[in-house]
Amino acid sequence: MKREPVDGERVIAHGDMDAFYASVEQRDRPELRGKPVIVGGGGPRGVVSAASYEARRFGVHSAMPGFEARRLCPEGIFLSGSMRRYRRESRRIFEIFGRFSPSVEGISLDEAFIDLTGTERLLGPARGVGEALRRAVREETGLAVSVGIAPIKMVAKLASEAAKPDGLCEVSREGLLDFLHPLPVRRLWGVGPVTGERLERAGFGTVRDLALAPPERVVDALGDWGLRLSRLARGEDVREVAPYRDAVSMSEENTFAADVDDLPRLERAIVSHAEAVARRLRRSELLARTIVLKLKLGRRRAPGPRGYRLITRRATLPEASDDGRVLARVASELLAEWGLPEAVRLLGVGVTNLVPAADAQLPLF
């Protein structure tokens, strides 16, 4: 739902649950409270999914290899976790978000943008709405959410990060550049490690450096795409909050404990992932037109986590579907076409080109 600003000013909130998976575990198991809880990271190749704030004090963070987390935090309590429970909690949290605005854009299970534009007359000032939202989540789920509020999406997300843990940060239009410009340039949306290095080599250390640079200097460093980053650095972000069902993709994946070159085992993993994706599609009342197979090969070609070759294959269905059997069949065909010339380290099944189930054309017979 598109919400038009009454006075030309958008008000966007970003809600981000604090250490979500780990917090769910600590809530449900009182003996874990106050202890360094790490979800994921099991096995020789496991990756940390979430770390409690007690574990973060040791330097543990999400996406870190499990062996590194164990080295930093030998007293950490490692849990495999339960995606079923986390998804159930996510649905409860998103239901609460939806009470404050009909326009909620889910980014992941534990964070969302909430368009508060035009709600002041009904709900009051944005800061009060943010506090009410935080209070409702705490009282109804026993979990903490940090909230950022700003006129644009990117700064709302950065503000929620600044509010952690368990806080609220509001950035006004007048204070937008004062908040944004001192930040490292790597904090901008779209700036990953490689782009960050290129920007820093070109002399752009902060967001302010990029915002004030002549366009030709930015183009020299990054090409025309750099001009888009310059606009973000100046606080120019026209992207609107897109409701949850406007999700563009869904996927499930796993990293194997040891490289796999056994086709039947890979096909079993495909079936499991396809069924999980199909359930998410049905819950979201969506159908998928395109199936994506993701493979990360076992042989390391360069140092670091990016040294593994990543292969993706995709196919478009004649009719959109939310049937796990259809998704698994097509993904298995993509795997067979690839031919398995090398052992696989990671396998994922995803869908994109999503459409609302209600809009799909029904078969005539």
What is the rounded distance in angstroms from the CA atom of residue 137 to the CA atom of residue 146? 10
Residues carrying an active site annotation: 111
Spatial CB neighbours of 148, under 8 Å, sequence gap ≥ 6:
13, 14, 16, 155, 156, 157, 158, 159, 160, 161, 162, 163, 168, 169, 170, 171
Q: Is 62 left (phi over 0), alpha (psi -120 to 50) or beta?
A: beta
What is the rounded distance in angstroms from the CA atom of residue 112 to the CA atom of residue 95? 11
Q: Name the 3-class secondary structure at 304.
A: coil
Spatial CB neighbours of 365, under 8 Å, sequence gap ≥ 6:
none
Residues across the chain: 365
What is the rounded distance in angstroms from the CA atom of residue 305 to the CA atom of residue 316? 30
